[in-house]
Amino acid sequence: MDSDGRRDRWDWDSPHCRAQLDEVFFRKNDYIQTGSPEHREFWAFFDRFQRFKTKKDMCGSVGARGRNGDRDEERKVKGKTAKVDLGLPVEYDARYRINVSVCTRDIEERVGKSEHRSRQRSSGPGDQEISDCRLALLHFLDFNQRQSFGKLAKLRREQKNLPIFQYQDKIVELVRRHPVVVVAGDTGCGKSTQVPQYLLSAGFDYIACTQPRRIACISLAKRVSFESLNQYGSKVGFQIRFETTRTIATKLLFLTEGLLLRQIQQDRTLAQYQVVIVDEVHERHLHCDFLLGVLRTLVAERPDLRLILMSATINIKLFSHYFSSAPVLQVPGRLFPIQVIYKPIPPEEQASRSEKLDPRPYLRILQGIDQRYPPEERGDLLLFLSGVAEISTIQEACQVYATHTQRWIVLPLHSTLSLAQQDKVFDISPPGVRKCIISTNIAETSVTIDGVRFVVDSGKVKEMSFDPKAKMQRLQEFWISRASSEQRKGRAGRTGPGVCYRLYAESDYDAFAPYPVPEIHRVALDSLILQMKSMGLGDPMSFVFIDPPPAASIQTAVTYLKEQGALDSHGELTSIGTLLSQLPVDVVIGKMLVLGSLFNLVEPVLTVAAALSVQSPFLRSSQNNPDCATARQPLHSNQGDPFTLLNTFNAWVEVKGERGGGSRKWCRRRGLEEQRLYEMVNLRRQFRDLLKSHSLLESEKNAASDGDRGQRRMRLTERKKLHQLKRDHEQQEGSKRKVLKLEEGHDGDMSSGSDTEETSRRKKDKDGPGQNMDIQEVKFKLRHNISELQEAVTVSQDMSSRHQALLKLLLCRGLYPQLAVPDEHNTNRKDSDQVFHTKNKQGVVIHPTSVFASDPEVLLVPDDGVSELGSDRRDSSKHQLLAFVTLLETNKPYLSNCVRVPALQALLLVANSMDSNADCARLVMDGWLEVELRQPEEASKLLSTALSLRGEWERLLLAQLGQSTEMRSAAQGVSRKTMEKLSDRLVRFLLYTEVSYSLRRLTAFQTQNLYIGPQPESELFQGKPPDLNSLFPGAEVKPHPIKGGLRVTSFFTYNCLADSKDLYSECLRTFWSCPNCDLYMPLTPLERMQHEASCRPAGEQQQTGEEPAEGKPGPSSVSSLSRVYHCDVCNKDLTLTSTEILKHKRQHK
């Protein structure tokens, strides 16, 4: 129909011509739009389609256009003679197989008209071109439909093939009929993904499904929403610490166990859920055991709540019994047969405790595999070892073998590796080469690697245990349990039949414990007990745990919480304890946050608290790399590790502000795992929000939100773009796995530190443009306002020494009682042999990653400041203590994350128990540190300053907390001025106290005979009845029932130390003149302190000019410090301040 001439002018390859067709088919509102990925795909498809058609035409297929009508008639007639006529066109056309049509008549007409007008010179599309394009489009749409449907059908087939599939109805029925159901099935049976879907489709709404690991929450939510074809809907979501996809429409929520517990704290009956699924209960994590206990009570209260426990087929009876014999549904797993070979290590190759692991047994297995199995038969090896040191030993040996044979790629796997390195285990090895993955027990449950055919099980695991006596965590090596052993073995049979080599005897296996020790028996229970208290669960001792923890461990936690001030002496929550129970962090970190909110130190405290709550960003593997060490140097602070972390974070934020994505390289140079910094910035934000929600922090300044409209719009467009990038990333995520190179194993350790320009460029080329997008950077930009962050960071960057001192004090008070004292002989020891002591554990050392390990000198008492008084008394004003975050024993007990503080000042301000002798020159702190001052006057002066500082600090803290709990509308609980005054005084006390003293740890003998003990009053006061109340206004001063002496405040007991002299012996009185008033008289230290407590410099005086005339009752506005005093000599009732009482009594002498 078209002239050949015109056809010649139409060029399908010309972008111009295609653009004209785009105008017809791919307009702005069309199903496929010009410029979209589908649009590009279409034209690529078009080319293929055209080629296919030409080929077909050449093969002689007859064009059927236009002639169908006649044939149709013919057919219909024929049909009638048969049974049923389907009315099908006889002439076959692939077009008839497509159930879609595209109507573009409106446009065609318009185009047609314009073409008509300018027929002569037009090169626009004719009917033929349009119909060609339409046909291609129809086939394209059909092709896409077929592809997607194919994927859907495959998905459904896979679901159907899961072992759990045939139990779908049974599960739903059980859940309908019973409040608690146990579903037990081994890895691969599909319970985690399918059970929630079965319940959803059975009509259950509001389902919570807990997971022990955050990563599982994300991946399960993704998988399930995908399987339920709801990938972009919001019915399936997850909620973890920093991220949630939950909306009001969410019907199935994957969340961590800890988070569900937090929700119970807010919503005691969990009214928001109809069904709660607790997955992986067999792993017996602390939170999970506790959660089960809480749910057990809840089930009784809420008969409508459905609870499903999902477990591997381990110890199922335990769970069923705990929930009054709940029905159990056992689903067979889907494992291929696995051959077990016991290869116990011969005695001569068994390493003794101090030695390195002997790699020979492991190498023999690699060799054996190479001999027995042809390299074409794929299948990787997974080797379980107990710890990082063991892994690197074996890795080294295997690498030598691998380099020699060229048949292995050796990859380590443990949690302290960078995430990029961890991720390598999922990459594919080239043909003829096997991966040899050497892992801790992380690959037992947390990480699942497909394609493993061989498992080597050392039978060992390193597990954390808690020593309540030393208040210390301990990482020890144990034999694994039979359950773990089976779990490890199972890793060989996920994708095909496998082999499991056990490096122990079958008799060993039989002697293993059946199950691993549940976490609740191994860890400190502080946070757990705190949470129980805040949930009003009563006495932790009587709570019905599935497997109760030892009573001693609960007791230790209660004592610790009392020491921390979170519980009062009756074991009830204090106001700070209430707040701490709501912070999802360690008690010590929570305390820091609360303390930081009081002073102007929120920003640095937020950073430090966040930094101490995540794994260290400093990669261990880079520590020995000299380039990294040099690059890290400027980040180090010899004030302590928290300061190094603070510097690092601040520097990183600065780099992010200047260079955005360039921060990745910056981190690599310094051997930093950037992921941890991202975690820190998220956590920091969460802490800030928490403090705000408890009114401990002023709400956002509104300056940042404004800005002119243009800027806002720009930010909005940027956000849109970022969201798109994030979506794109999620799309392609997991779709490509890299193929490993043979040399991959060697550079493992080195590459993380020194990434040269060259390698990063090569990487870019390989991935192609656009692929190099840093998803973390995108998420970071979406979540945080970099300029705000930079502002916050600047605050803590150029910290004055005053701020630094105050921050150290806050950290120390937060970390208290985690304090360590340097051994007195450290000066004479090598740098590497510096020894420290905590109250409960002697002879601990500083972890090699700590700044004090490389710079221990700053902890030594400088020689010039020391005056030797006999052999073991070293007086100095420069004694220091270490406050530390963790005490962990591996091969030695190590302190990590330490900060140094001036000893005496810190102790006076934070110690829970201070005991003195009569002249206060000898002080015993917390029953283990003895301080002796040479000048008693200085001692009592210091003490009284400390008492007053602590009193004021406590008052402000309570005001701040009280304000937050009572939700008063006052802008700030504590006025800025009062707060600044206090911080000023604290700083002065910390920095300018120049008193020489000795610091000593008490010996066991000394601690036994520390106190004089209770005395009869007559003896104590030598018959002279003292007016105790007058000595300490406001405080209830009474004899201490155990220690003896006088209990002045909750933390200070006067004159109770065994060598003490009597309270009122006149010889202790010395003449003293008060710097603030004209008082000059002989006073005991106690009287002097008491006077100082109530006598302030003129400026500070609270009741100025209100000195009531002697003997006369004061005016109606009597200050709180004065009270009625009955003088026996005058026989009169007088309203006097304590000082005045003293003065008055002196008159009668």
Partner 1 sequence: MEQTRQKTFTCQLCGLTSPYSYYGQKPPNTRAIVLLEECYVTKDPFSPDKEKFLVLGSTCSLCSMCVCVGSDCSLFYTKRFCMQCVNKHLDQFPHQIQTELAKKKERSKAAVS
Residues that bind partner 1 (CB under 8 A): 25, 29-31, 36-38, 79, 82-92, 96-104, 141, 144-145, 147-149, 151-153, 156, 201, 203, 226, 228-232, 235, 249, 727-728, 731
Contact between 936 and 921 under an 8 Å Cβ cutoff? The reply is: yes
In the complex with partner 1, which residue's Cβ is closer, 100 or 714? 100
C-alpha distances in angstroms, 985 versus 943, 946, 993, 1032? 14, 10, 11, 21
In the complex with partner 1, which residue's Cβ is closer, 118 or 201? 201
What's the CA gap between 217 and 1119, in Å, rounded? 60
CB atoms within 10 A of CB 295: 23
CB atoms within 10 A of CB 230: 15
Torsion over CA: 1026, 1032, 1035, 1039 (sign) = negative
User: Which pair of structure tokens corresponds to residue 30?
Assistant: 């069309």
Residue-level length of the chain? 1149
In the complex with partner 1, which residue's Cβ is closer, 3 or 29? 29
In the complex with partner 1, which residue's Cβ is closer, 229 or 869? 229
CB atoms within 10 A of CB 205: 13
In the complex with partner 1, which residue's Cβ is closer, 148 or 325? 148
User: Which pair of structure tokens corresponds to residue 9?
Assistant: 């002018």
To which H or E segment does residue 712 belong? helix 709-732
Nearest of 332, 307, 333 to residue 322 by alpha carbon: 307
**DSSP-assigned letter for residue 974:** S
What's the CA gap between 616 and 898, in Å, rounded? 13
What's the CA gap between 1039 and 735, in Å, rounded? 74
Smallest distance from the beta carbon of 31 to partner 1, in angstroms? Answer: 5
Smallest distance from the beta carbon of 57 to partner 1, in angstroms? Answer: 16
- 3-class DSSP assignment, residue 140: helix
Smallest distance from the beta carbon of 26 to partner 1, in angstroms? Answer: 10
C-alpha distances in angstroms, 477 versus 353, 394, 460, 480, 617? 10, 17, 7, 9, 26
Contact between 251 and 485 under an 8 Å Cβ cutoff? The reply is: no
To which H or E segment does residue 609 belong? helix 602-613
In the complex with partner 1, which residue's Cβ is closer, 168 or 648? 168
Smallest distance from the beta carbon of 179 to partner 1, in angstroms? Answer: 24
Q: Residues 98-101: contacts with CB within 8 Å, 24+ apart? A: 98/138, 98/139, 98/141, 98/142, 99/142, 100/138, 100/141, 100/142, 100/145, 101/138
In the complex with partner 1, which residue's Cβ is closer, 147 or 787? 147
In the complex with partner 1, which residue's Cβ is closer, 235 or 669? 235
What's the CA gap between 1072 and 1080, in Å, rounded? 5
Nearest of 182, 179, 204 to residue 298 by alpha carbon: 179
> Is the bond into 1085 cis (omega within 30 degrees of 0)?
no
Smallest distance from the beta carbon of 271 to partner 1, in angstroms? Answer: 19
In the complex with partner 1, which residue's Cβ is closer, 84 or 967? 84
What's the CA gap between 553 and 1104, in Å, rounded? 53
In the complex with partner 1, which residue's Cβ is closer, 253 or 819? 253
In the complex with partner 1, which residue's Cβ is closer, 233 or 548? 233
In the complex with partner 1, which residue's Cβ is closer, 201 or 272? 201
In the complex with partner 1, which residue's Cβ is closer, 40 or 976? 40
What's the CA gap between 1009 and 566, in Å, rounded? 30
Smallest distance from the beta carbon of 159 to partner 1, in angstroms? Answer: 10
Burial class (CB in 10 A: 0-12, 13-18, 19+), 427: middle
Counting Cα atoms < 13 Å in the Cβ hemisphere of 612 gives 31
Smallest distance from the beta carbon of 359 to partner 1, in angstroms? Answer: 47
In the complex with partner 1, which residue's Cβ is closer, 96 or 1080? 96
In the complex with partner 1, which residue's Cβ is closer, 83 or 1112? 83
User: Which pair of structure tokens corresponds to residue 1062?
Assistant: 């009597």
Residue that has been written with the tokens 């380099």 in this structure:
403
In the complex with partner 1, which residue's Cβ is closer, 85 or 173? 85
In the complex with partner 1, which residue's Cβ is closer, 89 or 660? 89
Counting Cα atoms < 13 Å in the Cβ hemisphere of 266 gives 8
Nearest of 882, 992, 881 to residue 945 by alpha carbon: 992
User: Which pair of structure tokens corresponds to residue 274?
Assistant: 């109809």
C-alpha distances in angstroms, 626 versus 20, 622, 649, 750? 62, 8, 21, 11
Roughly how many angstroms between the first and final C-alpha of the chain, as a whole number? 134
Contact between 212 and 280 under an 8 Å Cβ cutoff? The reply is: yes
Contact between 896 and 838 under an 8 Å Cβ cutoff? The reply is: no
User: Which pair of structure tokens corresponds to residue 748?
Assistant: 């493992």
